[in-house]
Amino acid sequence: MPVIEVEHLRKRYRDVVAVDDVSFTVERGEIFGILGPNGAGKTTTVEIIEGLRTPDDGTVRVLGLDPRRDGAELRQRVGVQLQESQLPEGGVEAIRRLRETAPSVRVLVLTTYDTDSDVLPAIEAGATGYLLKDAPREELIRAVRAAFKGESVLSPAVARRLMGQVRKPPPEALSQRELKVLQLIADGATNREAAAKLFVSEATIKTHLLHIYDKLGVRDRAAAVGEAYRRRLFT
């Protein structure tokens, strides 16, 4: 039985035909990709296979099951999910939700991004491994098999970056006053409003913010608030 069977798939968005009579099968052990220019219907086809969209016509079977009707059962049978970390809807959030809804699925990130802000959140969200898209075919196959066994898989570049993070000195903690200032900023207060609430000058608030930026490794207010939430500094 093929792993994936797609027959005469069609999908239209109003006057735009996104998928027009697409058929293919993916056999067990086969590596399969969908190629085409923007607007060719690649994403829509994959979303239908995942059960995220309903086709206008045609049938889809994954392991013999209907992904729309039998989604819960399918999620328990999927071994490894290849996941992009940078998606418009939030790749890291997709990893977190998948781990919550289908904890048996191993998530292997396959991406072109390897910065600290990409790697660490994905690992924290529950990714079993993190590979770059320039990985050789043999390395990718080994990684999928290792992830299926629950083994951690990291590309050499990502492993070096994580080792660098481990060896870095721990970040300096924010003082209680700095936390209070940052909480007010997160709540939408301006420098003037924060100064009034804390009975200090605006210059003092600006000084606190500069110290906060330095300790959190950011450059502006929005980034400081985002980093504070990521580190769970707010109670």
> If you average pLDDT over residues 205-219, what whole number do you get?
90
> If you average pLDDT over residues 131-151, what whole number do you get?
87
Averaged pLDDT of the chain? 86
**In the chain, where does the domain assigned CATH 3.40.50.300 lie?**
1-70
pLDDT given at position 169: 66
> If you average pLDDT over residues 57-81, what whole number do you get?
86
Q: For residues 156 and 131, is the Cβ–Cβ distance under 8 A?
A: no
Measured CA to CA, the distance from residue 69 to residue 51 in angstroms comes to 8
144 vs 35, 122, 128, 217, CA distance in Å? 21, 17, 10, 34
Measured CA to CA, the distance from residue 83 to residue 49 in angstroms comes to 15
**In the chain, where does the domain assigned CATH 3.40.50.2300 lie?**
78-168
pLDDT at residue 24 is higher than 90: yes
Is 76 buried (19+), middle (13-18) or exposed (0-12) by CB count in 10 A? exposed
> If you average pLDDT over residues 103-125, what whole number do you get?
81
Q: Report helix, strand and coil shares of the chain as percent, to nearest 5.
A: 45, 20, 35
* The CATH number, out of the four listed (3.90.70.10, 3.20.20.150, 3.60.9.10, 3.40.50.2300), of the domain defined by the range 78-168: 3.40.50.2300
19 pLDDT band (50/70/90 cuts)? Answer: very high
pLDDT given at position 191: 94
> If you average pLDDT over residues 31-37, what whole number do you get?
84
pLDDT at residue 81 is higher than 80: no
Q: For residues 173 and 143, is the Cβ–Cβ distance under 8 A?
A: no
pLDDT given at position 89: 54
Domain 176-230 has CATH 1.20.1250.20: no
Max mean pLDDT range (108-122, 165-179, 217-231) = 217-231
**In the chain, where does the domain assigned CATH 1.10.10.10 lie?**
176-230
* Dihedral sign for Cα atoms in the order 54, 57, 62, 66: positive
CATH number for the domain whose boundaries are 1-70: 3.40.50.300
pLDDT in tens, 149-178: 888 888 887 888 777 766 666 668 899 999
> If you average pLDDT over residues 201-230, what whole number do you get?
90
* Secondary structure element (H or E) that encloses residue 207, with its range: helix 202-216
pLDDT-wise least confident of 8-12, 44-48, 118-122 = 118-122
